[in-house]
A and B are shown apart, each in its own frame.
Chain A
């Protein structure tokens, strides 16, 4: 192999540069504090908080299809109450400040759901 030293050095430099962000983060404490989410106004969520944290997007997808495609708009909540499957009217009636709940966590997770392009934030239009 010609110029083995230079090639290997090149590879090492390349790898070092490419993985630099990883080392940098490991060395410095680059962790970001988990967002401080506002407490909901209601006492009881439609599912337990732990499950909702991981699966609210699946639940909303289900609701969307059931409401729009099947016309099933209502469900019985955990406290036996009949509730509407509605992001704007049910979820946001307890999580009144979208910016202090939805947005804070979505920003932290760097996700950008487009629900709000169409669905109304009641507080903003009242």
Chain B
């Protein structure tokens, strides 16, 4: 069957050297002899248990509640075990989808030296903001990362990612991690319901789109015992997130950049 990313680059490299002008056409012309049965197949779209849908998913994180439990790591643990995120134990190879960051790092344009102690020293939960105007998507040359029209989730297609890391540079929030090495040996317990990644691809939070499709809330929201994480539809005026946003004072990360992040923080 097809060729993998590495082989593709090797072949393209050789081609560029002028060794084999014709090899490019061979690489691209994968024969797909479709039989009739593909066209006539009737795909269903509804899962057995109704999916959770929204016009625009958004998250509200109550940092006050979070700060009351400084030792709690439930959301991070739940996310990383659900999604087979490796634990390298060093910042150089680190792969993360959701993690704790100091307030001054997470909100560096909104802090000042005389800030409340609680904000100053206690960490804020950060993850991909599923920006409404995502710079990572603009730079991706392969379409491996894109914003879903139906609900605004910024998706990852690990089949298409070529590991160029443009998106890592473009994301102003550090939400993306690169797999410098094969992550499998560093996954404590492989979760059979979710794929792992391979060396050379970028990964990040996907708002648990695979769980939403099965009618479940994101793993972090479900794992939080203290009600610090809320997930809902921003377009629905009666939703939990809209209610919180209208009643509480909330901030977003780096709002001045125009990315329109969709993770809100109650401070």
Contacts and interface: CB of A to CB of B under 8 A. Distances in A.
Given A71-B148, A125-B190, A118 B44 contact: no
B1 A73 contact: no
B43 A55 contact: no
Contacts of B38: 55, 58-59, 62
Contacts of A10: none
Interface in B87-101: none
Interface stretch (A17-25, A26-34, A36-44, A74-82): A74-82
Interface in B188-214: 189-198, 209, 213
A59 B37 CA distance: 10
A74 B196 contact: no
B211 to A, nearest CB: 12
B10 interface: no
A115 to B, nearest CB: 9
Given A68-B157, A119-B195, A113 B2 contact: yes
B45 interface: yes
A72 B45 contact: yes
A71 B1 contact: no
Interface stretch (B27-35, B64-72, B168-176, B254-262): B27-35
Interface string A108-122: 000101100111101
A40 B197 CA distance: 28
B246 interface: no
A72 B158 CA distance: 17
Interface size class of A (residues with CB under 8 A): 20 to 34
A47 B39 CA distance: 13
A76 B48 CA distance: 11
B150 interface: yes
A40 B45 CA distance: 26
A126 B193 CA distance: 11
Contacts of A75: 41-44
Interface size class of B (residues with CB under 8 A): 35 or more
Contact of A118 (B35, B155, B195): B195
Contacts of A126: 192
Task: Find the residue from A47, A54, A118 having the highest chain B CB count within 10 A.
Answer: A118
Contact of A71 (B2, B35, B84, B209): B209
Contact of B159 (A62, A68, A122, A125): A68
Interface in B1-55: 1-2, 4, 32-35, 37-38, 41-48
B213 A71 contact: yes
B1 A74 contact: no
Contacts of A88: 192-193, 195
A53 to B, nearest CB: 11
Interface in A84-125: 88-89, 111, 113-114, 117-120, 122, 125
A51 B148 contact: no
A66 B34 contact: no
Contacts of B33: 54-55, 58
Contacts of B46: 74, 82
A64 B159 contact: yes
23 contacts: A54-B35, A58-B32, A58-B33, A58-B34, A61-B32, A72-B43, A72-B45, A73-B213, A74-B43, A74-B47, A74-B48, A75-B42, A82-B47, A88-B192, A88-B195, A113-B2, A118-B196, A118-B197, A118-B198, A119-B195, A120-B190, A125-B189, A126-B192
